[in-house]
Structure 1
Amino acid sequence: MRFVHETRPQRVRFGSGTAPDAVAEEVERLGAHRVMVIASPAARDAADRITAGLPLALRHHEVVMHVPTEVAARAHQAAVEARADAVVSIGGGSATGLAKAVALASGLPVVAVPTTYAGSEATAVWGTTDGSRKTTGSDPRVLPRAVVYDAELTLSLPVGMSVASGLNAVAHCVDSMWSPGSDPIDRTLAAEGIRALAEGLPLVTAGPADLRGRELALYGAYVSAVAFSSAGSGLHHRICHVLGGAYRLPHAQTHAIVLPHVLALNAPYAPEAQARMARAFDAGSALAGLDRLRRAVDAPRALGDVGLRRADVSAAAGLILPVVPPDNPAPVTRAVLERLLTAAWNGDDPA
């Protein structure tokens, strides 16, 4: 056994109902006196409650999916003009992503308060979109200094969005099993993430107000993101980043739809990872476990339902092929990608 594993420096605070006090304490630890709060209009009420006692410099509400470069530039300019010395992001992956873009340009520290299961808050990965092209990278400056997890903030997240966001977290786990930088620690964390999410997401679906399910899902999302932050982006995320950037597909739903098709492709070529995931799902195979979870939560199934045109499948395969990891477990050609995308577009059985 020989590997190199890097652990990211970050404080994590987990506790339902604790967000206002926890955020205030983390801002104080940073010594910040002029805080920029980033939250979408939909998260404004929660943001107002959480940040009521902070030394605010400005509230910024222009949050857009996939972080267009012009939106990131306006947020950075707003931070400069307000002389902000810290950023607090409240919301899903788009709010966290915008805070990261500001941090990348300015070096300001970020305190992230997630309200979905996106996991971006636990990684040093940033991403912006210029036209139809999505660019991603990794930089230690964008890793939030602290993350405050409060499951009560996810209670207003609709079940459908909770499912899609949670399956996005499962995708972090699956990719972490065979991404280019995957190591035994990443795979252990990913298996724990699958276990927690497979237990928590059905509870959320059956009882949206059940805090136990929400806490399990939030915990699972964090663990999965820590694994992914180290392992890096595999085939699944390369596909979804291209689709999101080029065709403006909704992030979480795209991950939820594509995931079983990538798992069906790679699992036969990675028996050890497949067996580990099967155990985490408590199922006969990884694909059977994922299918059972998807049925339990009524997961979205077809790219055709979320905005991809059938006519775009061939071109999308051509855009994805150059970014396929060279050491992906299964051989990948343009024809393979076209078959995979066609199946995902139709909502076919991945098996």
Structure 2
Amino acid sequence: MTASFTWEALPARVLCGRGYLDRVGDEVERLGARRVLLVGGGAATGAPLQRVRSQLGDRVAEVIPDSAQHVPEVIAGQAVERGRGAAIDAVVSVGGGSATGLGKAVVLELGVPLIAVPTTYAGSEMTPIHGRTRDGRKETGRDPRVLPRAVVYDPELCLGMPARLAGASGMNALAHCAEALWVTTANPVTSALASEGIRCLVAGLPRVVSDPQDVDGHAECLAGACMAGTALAQVGTGVHHRTCHVLGGGWNLPHAETHGIVLPHAVALVSPRAPQAMERLAEVLGGEPATALFELASSMALPTALVDVGMPGDALDEAADRVAVASEHDRIVDGPAHRPRRRRNARGRSRRGRRPSRRGERARSPRRRPEPAARDARGRVPRQPAGPTPRRHTALTRSRRRRR
């Protein structure tokens, strides 16, 4: 981050509060929409989707109750055709990042406005970033037309969210914040948003994971997700998001959990080249960033290995090559370094090549440094007297001794 910067705020209208789902109808009225497409996120969003449908009445022209992660091209195409056939003039999405993403795909093609009602901490509702997956590759882009005209946050919609979903979704939002700190386009405004977003998420996540009915904890996390998305929308994405898009689109890995697994390793990768961002992360996380994030994910019982979410081990080199190609012009990344890091991701290792110690496990003692050699009066190390060359205790010499 440099002292000189350009800040251009994106248009946004955010409503946040308990019971605010009942205000969606007013937001549709503000747009003057009369034929609305409703997009849901599956069975978990069935009840709030029905409440919105009741508010809108005969203004609902079409309903798509389900969506899929990574926005598959076929599903996006079908949604666009249904919207076109119904002559819609607005879209309302109710759900997590998948529902928001499908809504963005429709408004991008049909040129109608979007109202987003998030039910997780995805944060994508605050960004002009859209994406689709075709032929095993996720393609993303930026377009101001997909930025929702209004975002309605209601923490009551998050009540009862399964602990694993809440934790993974929160790690996804933390990834938005962390990357917004180290990309080259970061500035004081976005960094302030990202830092405060991390503070909200770190405070709220343990609460909602331990008690899914903690409405204030959900409100804290939604505020963090909002700031995370706003920061990311301004500065764009970096190597972390490129890596997750490659893995998710190529091997259909779960979006939020993949972010949680990759994040500590991405932080470790960029750490030597983004010292200011790491200092800020350390300050708000209360410790060394990569380790703190790994331990946070572990404390919420989230998977820490790509293999645990379906990544085939023999595909790691291909994934690393794809990320290296996508990161060709990113000065923070050097391609060959991805291979060992992806292998650590696959095994669920920390950046030091081992799992951090957990409760009930004995922590490994630090390596001892060799004692400095004795020196003479001139500061030189005396030459040792010649002697027999010691045997090298390799696996080969041990096997030879056994044969003797």
Q: What range describes the TM-score normalised by the shorter chain of this pair?
A: over 0.9
Moved more, 180-189 or 193-202: 180-189
Map of 1:149-188 to 2, 5 A cutoff? Answer: 149-188=153-192
Which residue number in structure 1 is paired with residue 293 of structure 2? 290
Aligned residues of 2:294 and 2:350 also touching (Cα < 8 A): no
In the alignment, is residue 227 of structure 1 matched against residue 228 of structure 2? no
DSSP-derived class of the 2:54 partner: coil
Match of 2:251 among 247, 268, 287: 247
Q: Specify the code of the residue in structure 1 equivalent to 2:329.
A: P
Match of 1:319 among 322, 333, 343: 322
Distance 1:215 1:92 in 2: 15
Q: Specify the code of the residue in structure 1 equivalent to 2:301.
A: D
Where in structure 2 are there 5+ consecutive unaligned residues? 353-404
Deviations 1:69-101 (A, max 9, x none): 121111111111111111000001010000000
Aligned residues of 2:324 and 2:335 also touching (Cα < 8 A): yes
Map of 1:109-124 to 2, 5 A cutoff? Answer: 109-124=113-128
DSSP-derived class of the 1:148 partner: strand
Q: Once the 2 structures are TM-superposed, how far is the Cα of residue 328 of structure 1 from its aligned partner? A: 4.1
Where in structure 1 are there 5+ consecutive unaligned residues? none
Distance 2:38 2:141 in 1: 24
DSSP-derived class of the 1:116 partner: coil
Which residue number in structure 2 is paired with residue 142 of structure 1? 146
Moved more, 241-250 or 295-304: 295-304
Which residue number in structure 2 is paired with residue 340 of structure 1? 341
Moved more, 265-274 or 84-93: 265-274
The aligned length equals 347
Amino-acid identity (%):
43
Which residue number in structure 2 is paired with residue 73 of structure 1? 77
Which residue number in structure 1 is paired with residue 365 of structure 2? none
Which residue number in structure 1 is paired with residue 40 of structure 2? 39
In the alignment, is residue 273 of structure 1 matched against residue 274 of structure 2? no
In the alignment, is residue 211 of structure 1 matched against residue 218 of structure 2? no
Q: Specify the code of the residue in structure 1 equivalent to 2:324.
A: L
Q: Once the 2 structures are TM-superposed, how far is the Cα of residue 155 of structure 1 from its aligned partner? A: 1.3
Which residue number in structure 1 is paired with residue 19 of structure 2? 17
Distance 2:102 2:213 in 1: 29
Q: Specify the code of the residue in structure 2 equivalent to 1:206.
A: S
Deviations 1:291-348 (A, max 9, x none): 442243223201001010110101111111111163443x4223x1111110010001
In the alignment, is residue 310 of structure 1 matched against residue 309 of structure 2? no
Distance 2:16 2:31 in 1: 19
Deviations 1:242-297 (A, max 9, x none): 1111111110010000000111121232211111111112x132234324422432
Distance 1:179 1:64 in 2: 29
Moved more, 100-109 or 177-186: 177-186
DSSP-derived class of the 2:11 partner: coil
DSSP-derived class of the 2:55 partner: coil
Distance 1:325 1:198, change over 3 A: farther
Distance 1:124 1:332 in 2: 28
Aligned residues of 1:180 and 1:327 also touching (Cα < 8 A): no
Distance 1:145 1:299 in 2: 34
Which residue number in structure 2 is paired with residue 30 of structure 1? 31
Distance 1:116 1:251 in 2: 13
Q: Once the 2 structures are TM-superposed, how far is the Cα of residue 147 of structure 1 from its aligned partner? A: 0.1
Which residue number in structure 1 is paired with residue 137 of structure 2? 133
Deviations 1:193-241 (A, max 9, x none): 1111000001111211111111111110110010001110111000000
DSSP-derived class of the 1:135 partner: strand
Q: Once the 2 structures are TM-superposed, how far is the Cα of residue 104 of structure 1 from its aligned partner? A: 0.5
Q: Report the structure number with the largest CA radius of gyration.
A: 2
DSSP-derived class of the 1:113 partner: strand
Distance 1:206 1:325, change over 3 A: farther
Aligned residues of 2:264 and 2:289 also touching (Cα < 8 A): no
Aligned residues of 2:163 and 2:210 also touching (Cα < 8 A): no
Q: Specify the code of the residue in structure 2 equivalent to 1:78.
A: R
Aligned residues of 1:62 and 1:71 also touching (Cα < 8 A): no
Moved more, 171-180 or 241-250: 171-180
Kindly indicate whether structure 1 or structure 2 has the higher relative contact order, using CA contacts under 8 Å at least 6 residues apart.
Answer: 1
The two structures have a TM-score, normalised by structure 2, of 0.83
Aligned residues of 2:298 and 2:304 also touching (Cα < 8 A): no
Which residue number in structure 1 is paired with residue 242 of structure 2? 238
Aligned residues of 2:291 and 2:350 also touching (Cα < 8 A): no
RMSD: 1.3
Distance 1:70 1:182 in 2: 35
Which residue number in structure 1 is paired with residue 62 of structure 2? 58
Distance 1:194 1:160 in 2: 19
Q: Specify the code of the residue in structure 1 equivalent to 2:335.
A: T
Moved more, 54-63 or 301-310: 54-63
Q: Specify the code of the residue in structure 2 equivalent to 1:274.
A: M
Q: Once the 2 structures are TM-superposed, how far is the Cα of residue 63 of structure 1 from its aligned partner? A: 1.0
